[in-house]
Amino acid sequence: MDQYIINQVRDRRVALKMSQEDLSEKLGFKSNAFVGAAESPRSTKKYNPVHINKAALVFNCQFWDLVPQFPIAKNNVLKPFTKKKREN
């Protein structure tokens, strides 16, 4: 889920021709490198709900536009829950 959110934020940032530093500043981070760190696959920095809300304000979109609409399974395919029959 983290990667989905990062991809949504990055895609919107790039579409607006906004640098990582610009977005970090608009999100109110003390370090202008937070967005770059969040977009790096080697970093442990991720967006939290407050960051996502601020990004939605910056991008003039809804919070829900930046998060997945449905649960994401490990392999991206959801398997329906089925109750196993007990054998007696």
**pLDDT tens figures, 30-60:** 888 899 999 998 889 999 999 999 999 999 9
pTM listed for this prediction: 0.78
How far are the Cα atoms of 78, 80, 82 from residue 85, in angstroms, in the given order? Answer: 21, 15, 9
* 24-45 as b/e: b if 16+ CB within 10 A: bbbbebeeeebbbbbbeeeeeb
Res. 88 pLDDT band, cuts 50 70 90? low
What count of other Cβ atoms lies within 10 Å of the Cβ of residue 15? 9
